[in-house]
């Protein structure tokens, strides 16, 4: 897992917010993927830190969730 990512890289990705997120915001995450990595960030702090994990690690997390 890596949390260091430049704003330029993060802003160039297509981010998706949870379908459970309401119009009011709340506690939500956004997820974006590229060829090898899944990027996760707080939807209320889009210029803040981004967690990066491998696609395999993300698939394992989703399976267990």
pLDDT score at 18: 74
Among the listed residues 10, 2, 11, 46, the one whose alpha carbon sits nearest the alpha carbon of residue 28: 46
- pTM of the predicted model as reported, rounded to 2 decimal places: 0.75
User: Rounded CA gap, 15 and 53, in Å?
Assistant: 15
The per-residue pLDDT for range 4-53, each reduced to its tens digit, is 555 556 678 999 987 776 666 567 889 999 999 999 998 888 888 999 99
User: Rounded CA gap, 50 and 47, in Å?
Assistant: 9
Output DSSP code: residue 13: S
pLDDT higher than threshold 70 for residue 2: no
∠9-10-14 over CA atoms, to 5°? 110
């Amino acid at each position: 897992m890596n949390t260091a990512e430049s704003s330029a890289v993060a802003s160039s990705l297509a981010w998706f917010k949870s379908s459970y997120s309401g119009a009011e915001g709340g506690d939500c995450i956004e997820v974006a993927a590229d060829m090898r990595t899944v990027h996760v960030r707080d939807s209320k702090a889009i210029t803040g830190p981004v967690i990066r994990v491998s696609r395999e690690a993300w698939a394992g997390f989703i399976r267990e969730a």
